[in-house]
Structure 1
Amino acid sequence: MWERRLAGPIRCFVRSRAADVMLAAVLAGYGGLDALTQPDWPGPRPAVAALVVAAGVCLAWRRRRPVLAFTGTMGALTVVLVAFGHFESGSSLLISLVAAYSVGVYGADLRYAGGAIVCFTAAMGLREPNGEALPDMLWTLAALALPVTVGLATRALRGRTLVLEERTVTLEREQEQRAAAAVAEERRRIARELHDIISHGLGVVVLQAGAAEQVLDRDPAKAREALALIRATGQEAIGEMGTLVGLIRDDPEPSRDPQPTLADLDRLVATTCALGLPVRMMTEGTAGRVPAAVELSAYRVVQESLTNALKHAGNARVSVVLRYQPDDLEVEVSDDGPGCPQGAGGRHGLTGLRERVSIFGGRFEAGRGQTGGWTVRASFPTAR
């Protein structure tokens, strides 16, 4: 646990400017002390040590100015070679390797770095015997090219990692957007479901309450029938709303009562007829296999249309037709009443129906019929 807590601060320190300054100070001090005390360096020792310290100090800019830092480091060591003579020491090798790796990782333009490598390599063979000059130069060139290559590979790997991280962030953002869109669509669907349930249930309750009030004194039996229908409609609406709400709350055992299907249209038509609106239902074609979502939406189309007919059709007759075709299901509800006047209620319900049908890629029409009245027609593709 403590290792994880320390990993973040350590990583931040390693990537900081202070870490570069500390590294440069350590290498500069080590190189200067090595040049003063070890016999591998030429004389005069103080001047050589000063140049080695300058080479190490340049590493403080290895990330902010990588090419400049590398050029300064190798330039100082090249001056030692040209002015004072050949040397082979561990401190100079360590300083050179760090500078070469840093310019490979952080350098943007490596032409100057390549020139510095060539100059340093050529200087290594200036005061060497002919037989030893070429091997020393080749070894120096390989020793500097290897950390530069490793640095370039590290930079490429970091670039790929950065690209992958950006793609991951983009995918997460797109996933969140898709989730938000799905939530919004689900809210719209729930709003449509609630509108259909409440609109139909309350419409029936209001009409039956009015009928019961009219016959309460002269025909109590008829009034009781209306009240019984009000109770049954209210219980049905409450049950459907309970099912809908149970699907969206965090109840471990929500209600899973089945949603209405086309098989429930007979009961819906019978209920509407009992309210005083004559409805005739017909089926054309051979009933095929219809997806459950299409069945629910087709039922809601008929339910909303009958509710609007109860409100606006008056003393009219309603026809409900289900047309089964090879690739789609068509629902048509028409009446011969005066129709829904422009600007009357129910427009929200028709908008919800249109959205329902459009989800399945179907067609929806609602308007005055050719011979009067009002016609609602919806077509649902069933081939998919």
Structure 2
Amino acid sequence: MDEQRAQTGDGPAGNPGGPSRRAPWARGRQGEMPAGSRSPWGRWNSGEPPRWLTGPQGRATGRLPWASTILLGVVVMAGSSFAAHGQLDEKAPLDLFARLLLFAAVAVLLFRHRHPVVAVFGASAAATVYLGAGYPYGPVFLAVAVGCFSAVVAGHRRAAWSAVAMVWVGHLVVAHWLYRWLPPDDDAAPPWGQELGVAAWVVAIVAAAEFVRVRREQWAAQRAERAVAERRRADEERLRMARELHDVLAHSISVINVQAGVGLALLDTDPEQARTALTTIKDASKEALGEVRQVLDTLRTPGDAPRAPAPGLDRLPELVEQAATAGLTVTVTTDGARGAVPPGADLAAFRIVQEALTNVVRHSGSRTAQVRVGYRTGRITLRIDDEGPATGTDAGGSGNGLAGMRERAAALGGTIEAGARPDGGFRVRAELPLPAGGAAHREETP
């Protein structure tokens, strides 16, 4: 018997993508910097803008949030006009400069998805100038909140905190120290208790933004986990189907290969025996087509029941008959009473015996094989022996037989041992676990 060996090798070196184009600012006075070097310009050396200037990956080419920004602008403009009526005696009236500042604070938020740091600092700067000019409190803080929220969600937490802190410190300095030199003329310093409300507002904005950021990260992690799980299930299903098809086709094609050789050899000297060989080929190919169709039925609409039961150890007599048509005499011995055997373990045991007999047909000079099946408490044991010697021929085999058997056993938590015997033959021994109470108890082992 043989196993296919995996070959590994290093791929070609070089840059498959070809020379990269750098932005003009990525070239210094002495030309381009060597690959792998660092500089104060960061990612600009590779022609890419720094991360602090951009939003999350995949959002830079998104559509601008026109609708929400226009709605926010209407709320800020209308709300500021309403708030100004209640602060006529305390703050400067809204004029053209105030309207321009409010417009700037909102307009810069149009780029909050592409450039969240620019947006939050722009809105904060406009709000700071607005408050320093003595204009009334109002929804201008809403523009700062939206900018901070977008920056934190995009991952630029320090930039968002710094921008909001700039507004708070600016308000603090203007309200308690610079108010004498700023409009309105008769303005007075507000009580220090008012700063507690401003600080609470700042903390509430940052806390809400951080909460949404954490939730979005959790959702992204869950989506990634689901995607990985789906890919893993798809890979496992492909591996299972490949293993099934290999076991079905390898056995049947080996029989067909042997019988085709017999038919060609006896076509002229013994036409009747050649006819028998052709009949065997027809039956084996029909059986293979039926089993392949059963395997491929799993690709039908989920939920459909299989059209035929999966093969199990109860079909060993059929397997013995097929081996006999290939010139192999198989003796089957059973120890213990067959109890409740799950379909998965039953199928795995059948395929292991099938593959072992197929390898005898392909690679052994012996025309006899012994199969011993043992039903134990909580396990099934299998032993397949042939007298050998190995012929070294392949007969069209892929070399994946032993690997497939090990995969089947490992999937159920079992073990496979395969190797040459001291007398020159070959032995395959498998042990498959069963649920508690399965099979029957016998002390002897095969």
TM-score normalized with structure 2 length: 0.62
* AA aligned opposite 1:116: H
Q: Structure 1 residue 240 and structure 2 residue 291: aligned?
A: yes
Q: Which residue of 1 aligns with 2:334?
A: 283
Structure 1 residue corresponding to 2:238, chosen from 187, 191, 194: 187
Tell me how far 1:14 sits from its aligned partner: 5.1
* AA aligned opposite 1:120: A
Q: CA contact under 8 A between 2:332 and 2:370: conserved in structure 1?
A: yes
Structure 1 residue corresponding to 2:175, chosen from 117, 120, 128: 120
Q: CA 1:102/1:369 → structure 2, altered by over 3 Å: closer, same or farther?
A: same
Question: Whole-Å Cα distance in 1 between the matches of residues 167 and 67 of structure 2?
Answer: 33
Tell me how far 1:280 sits from its aligned partner: 1.0
TM-score normalized with structure 1 length: 0.71
User: Partner of 2:327: helix, strand, or coil?
Assistant: coil
Q: CA contact under 8 A between 1:320 and 1:332: conserved in structure 2?
A: yes
Q: Which residue of 2 aligns with 1:10?
A: 67
* AA aligned opposite 2:411: I
User: Partner of 2:139: helix, strand, or coil?
Assistant: helix
Tell me how far 1:236 sits from its aligned partner: 0.8
User: Partner of 2:351: helix, strand, or coil?
Assistant: helix
Q: Which residue of 1 aligns with 2:308?
A: 257
Question: Whole-Å Cα distance in 1 between the matches of residues 248 and 220 of structure 2?
Answer: 42
* AA aligned opposite 1:288: G
- For residues 352-377 of structure 1, give each alpha carbon's deviation from its aligned partner in whole angstroms, at most 9, with x where no partner exists: 22222222232222221122211122
For residues 290-301 of structure 1, the aligned pairs below 5 Å read 290-301=341-352
Larger Cα-atom Rg: 1
Q: CA 1:39/1:260 → structure 2, altered by over 3 Å: closer, same or farther?
A: closer
Q: Which residue of 2 aligns with 1:314?
A: 365
User: Partner of 2:221: helix, strand, or coil?
Assistant: helix
Q: Structure 1 residue 166 and structure 2 residue 217: aligned?
A: yes
Tell me how far 1:67 sits from its aligned partner: 5.5
Question: Whole-Å Cα distance in 1 between the matches of residues 291 and 274 of structure 2?
Answer: 26
Question: Whole-Å Cα distance in 1 between the matches of residues 126 and 193 of structure 2?
Answer: 19
Q: CA contact under 8 A between 2:79 and 2:139: conserved in structure 1?
A: no
Q: Which residue of 2 aligns with 1:108?
A: 161
Q: Which residue of 2 aligns with 1:156?
A: 207
Structure 2 residue corresponding to 1:97, chosen from 138, 156, 159: 138
Q: CA 1:329/1:12 → structure 2, altered by over 3 Å: closer, same or farther?
A: farther
Q: Which residue of 2 aligns with 1:374?
A: 426
Tell me how far 1:281 sits from its aligned partner: 0.9
Q: CA contact under 8 A between 2:76 and 2:140: conserved in structure 1?
A: no
* AA aligned opposite 1:351: A
- For residues 248-304 of structure 1, give each alpha carbon's deviation from its aligned partner in whole angstroms, at most 9, with x where no partner exists: 145997862122111001221132134321211112234333221121111111111
Where does structure 1 lack aligned partners over 5 or more consecutive residues?
1-6, 43-47, 78-91, 125-133
Higher relative contact order (CA 8 A, sep 6+): 2
Cα RMSD for the two superposed structures: 4.3
* AA aligned opposite 1:272: A
Percent identity over the alignment? 29
Q: CA 1:340/1:287 → structure 2, altered by over 3 Å: closer, same or farther?
A: farther
Q: CA contact under 8 A between 2:365 and 2:391: conserved in structure 1?
A: no
Structure 1 residue corresponding to 2:387, chosen from 311, 318, 336: 336
* AA aligned opposite 1:108: W
- For residues 15-61 of structure 1, give each alpha carbon's deviation from its aligned partner in whole angstroms, at most 9, with x where no partner exists: 7xxx49x9579959996xx79xx98479xxxxx659x7666655534
The number of aligned residues is 338
Q: CA contact under 8 A between 1:71 and 1:116: conserved in structure 2?
A: yes
